[in-house]
Chain A
Amino acid sequence: MNEKRNGKRTAAGTVILGILAALAATLLLTGCPKKAVAPVAPETPSAVQPQAPEEAPGEPVMRVEPALEGAGRAAGTTSAQAVSAIEETDIFFEFDSFDLSPTAKKTLADKAAYLKAHQGIKVQIEGHCDERGTVEYNLALGERRAKAAYEYLVFLGVDPKRLSIVSYGEERPVDPGHNEEAWAKNRRAHFAVSQGY
């Protein structure tokens, strides 16, 4: 309950707060419906330790310096329509390449047209790789894929201030498979609406 209370609390208000608190507790106990944005996911029980049992003197947790706490970028509100027009279609790349295929350019042209017609929308372009490359190189390659899409959208007249990029390297595959079919789906740039109506 982050809402600010002003004025004195009435008896009825106290009852309502009590009911809300009970509801919140029930929700917590039964589990949130889903999509609770938890920065740290719970750890699975560690049956995988091959060595001496893990000694946890108070489970270690790293914390960012105080000035940065809660520094994740807040997402704005978005409409379902904008989300599907922008987010539905990814563009795809060849292995170890960030060249835009004719199909990718056509997809980007559609997105540019939509973005020009809907000026309130801001988009984050995510660059992704398949699992075959190595981690550090794929972080750089994912960046170049996102940047290639970014530059083409800017070339098509989209205001660069409405675009941002992020590389996820090989960390966020859409298909967890270990075959060419999966890899082809994972070598992609994805477009996420970060703000707009």
Chain B
Amino acid sequence: MKIARKSRIVFFLFLVACALQATGSAQQVHIDVEAPGFARLKVAMPPFAGDPATAQSLWKVCARDLAITGLFDVIDPASYVNPAPAPRIALQSLKDYALIGADYAVAAMVTIQDGAVRVRFHMVEVSTATVVDDTLYTASAGEPHRAVHAFMNRLLKEKFGLEPLFASRIACIRKTDKVKQLHLMWCDGTGQVTVKGGGGLVLNPAWSPDGRSIALVSYYRNNPDLFLFDRASYRLRLVSGERGINTSPAFHPSGASLGVTLSVDGNPEIYLLDLATRARTRLTNSWATDTSPSFSPDGSMMAFCSSRAGNPNIFIMNLATRDARRLSFEGKYNTEPSFSPKGDLVAFSHLGSDGRYRIALVKPDGSGFRVLKGSGRGDESPSFSPDGRLIAFASADGNIYVTDLSGSIAIPLTSGGGYSEPSWSPILKE
């Protein structure tokens, strides 16, 4: 009796400590995920409790989201001592999770009430019994995954000091039958929707820095013309319909102009198109094919693809001096550069000697060339996440994948094929 009371007091003190830890989480020292030797953290996550169908689907979303961040591995529930659904992480189960090597344990209780989905997440650091999160997140019944996104965003921001990745979307092109249309989803593949229209052939989507519009190519007028798709009104505004090609848009970080490929003066060259005045400044001048601009985050540099050295290769231009340097020297076909939002890397599509495309990385000074493992089926069209830690790409199997920069994960966001040209949005305020 006495012992029981004593342990009850200890447990009470422990709860107080937990509460203190939880409320003090904003002051926590961030885990440096870019420190050398950072190993992905292991997460034990028993099936979510509550409404069975929603709980099961949200568990899958959460497991995928944890993996997509490149920070976590979810331990297969089959190896848990108790793999039953759990609304919360029980204190006495921590030793079991420690035994299977878990750094964190996550549980959730899912309820549906008045057309809203309510998910109470409970996340505990296994070694210290510290509560990382114990919060009720709500979402509309139409988008239950938004509750998981809210949990993930809070975790990324408060525990790791990272951007709320799950407030970003991926635009891509979806082919069905013979029609190519714009396709939108959250960056984990949830909330997928195809936007119809645009004349049946839409290509080259590129987000504006404010996330309100997407530049794209449409054959609506039977020619590859450049349009701005306004996300609020669903209107397409023509921004360049010159004779010849009007392709490969990329927003300048200012948002005021668009890097584009036009052939109006003869062969394909890159221009900077002022969106307010429609004035265009020619940036390249060569006999060769110049295309696919991508700007550094400070707007001072532009990576692009040019065949001026005989084969398509990646070049980088100082926009003040217009001096261009070659960045890719491996292989004979390097295209579609994407400048990291951190400015430290350029990713591109690289054709290897085995005849297969892979995503390659190089630093803007030309050093550090390396190739990512990816899907292994042929990877093209890289696009960086807004925090610069991840890359979306299109695989030859017709699906969009996400990889981290170590290349150790390649997670499919779509299934069934027909998807190409991913473009990762900035962090959206919606």
* Interface status of A193 (Cβ within 8 A of chain B): no
Tell me the chain A residues, 13-45 only, with Cβ under 8 Å from chain B: 39-41, 43-44
Q: Are B236 and A140 in contact, CB atoms less than 8 angstroms apart?
A: no
Q: Which of B143, B185, B220, B312 contacts A137 (CB 8 A)?
A: B312
Closest B residue by C-beta to A56: B193
Q: Are A62 and B421 in contact, CB atoms less than 8 angstroms apart?
A: no
Q: Which of B236, B335, B412, B415 contacts A65 (CB 8 A)?
A: B236
Contacts of A153 in B (CB 8 A): none
Contacts of A61 in B (CB 8 A): 195-197, 234
Determine how close the nearest CB of chain A comes to the CB of B401; give it in whole angstroms: 12
Contacts of A135 in B (CB 8 A): 203-204, 336, 380-381, 420-421
* Interface status of B135 (Cβ within 8 A of chain A): no
Contacts of B143 in A (CB 8 A): 52, 55
Contacts of B418 in A (CB 8 A): 48
Q: Are B335 and A68 in contact, CB atoms less than 8 angstroms apart?
A: no
Q: How many interface residues does chain A have, given as a range?
A: 35 or more
Determine how close the nearest CB of chain B comes to the CB of A187; give it in whole angstroms: 15
Q: Are A51 and B182 in contact, CB atoms less than 8 angstroms apart?
A: no
Q: What mask results when residues 55 to 85 of chain A are scored 1 for a CB within 8 Å of chain B, else 0?
A: 1110111111100100111000000000000
Q: How many interface residues does chain B have, given as a range?
A: 35 or more
Chain A interface mostly: loop
* Interface status of B347 (Cβ within 8 A of chain A): no
Interchain CA distance A49-B184 in the complex, whole Å: 12
Interchain CA distance A10-B382 in the complex, whole Å: 66
Q: Which of B200, B248, B416 contacts A41 (CB 8 A)?
A: B200
Determine how close the nearest CB of chain A comes to the CB of B355; give it in whole angstroms: 9
**A136-B305, A139-B245, A171-B201 are known contacts. Are A147 and B176 too (CB-CB below 8 A)?**
no
Closest A residue by C-beta to B216: A62
Q: Are B289 and A72 in contact, CB atoms less than 8 angstroms apart?
A: no
Interchain CA distance A47-B416 in the complex, whole Å: 8
Q: Are B189 and A134 in contact, CB atoms less than 8 angstroms apart?
A: no
* Interface status of A177 (Cβ within 8 A of chain B): no
Q: Are A62 and B335 in contact, CB atoms less than 8 angstroms apart?
A: no
Closest B residue by C-beta to A141: B289
Q: Which of A44, A59, A63, A137 contacts B305 (CB 8 A)?
A: A137
Q: What mask results when residues 217 to 230 of chain B are scored 1 for a CB within 8 Å of chain A, else 0?
A: 10011111001010
* Interface status of B342 (Cβ within 8 A of chain A): no
Contacts of A141 in B (CB 8 A): 289
Q: Are B236 and A62 in contact, CB atoms less than 8 angstroms apart?
A: yes
Contacts of A147 in B (CB 8 A): 244, 263, 267
Determine how close the nearest CB of chain A comes to the CB of B413; give it in whole angstroms: 8
Q: What mask results when residues 223 to 251 of chain B are scored 1 for a CB within 8 Å of chain A, else 0?
A: 11001010000111110000011011000
* Interface status of B166 (Cβ within 8 A of chain A): no
17 CB < 8 A contacts A-B: A40-B200, A49-B192, A49-B415, A50-B414, A61-B195, A62-B235, A64-B238, A65-B235, A135-B204, A136-B261, A137-B305, A140-B263, A140-B268, A141-B289, A144-B267, A166-B224, A167-B245
Give residues in A with beta carbon < 8 Å to B.
39-41, 43-44, 46-52, 54-57, 59-65, 68, 71-73, 96, 133-137, 139-141, 143-144, 147, 165-167, 169, 171
Known: A62-B196, A139-B204. 11 other contacts (CB 8 A): A40-B200, A41-B178, A49-B192, A52-B61, A52-B143, A56-B193, A62-B234, A136-B247, A141-B289, A144-B289, A167-B224
Give residues in B with beta carbon < 8 Å to A.
57, 61, 142-145, 176-180, 182, 185, 189-201, 203-204, 217, 220-224, 227, 229, 234-238, 244-245, 247-248, 261, 263, 267-268, 289, 291-292, 305, 307, 311-312, 333, 335-336, 349, 357, 380-381, 412-418, 420-421
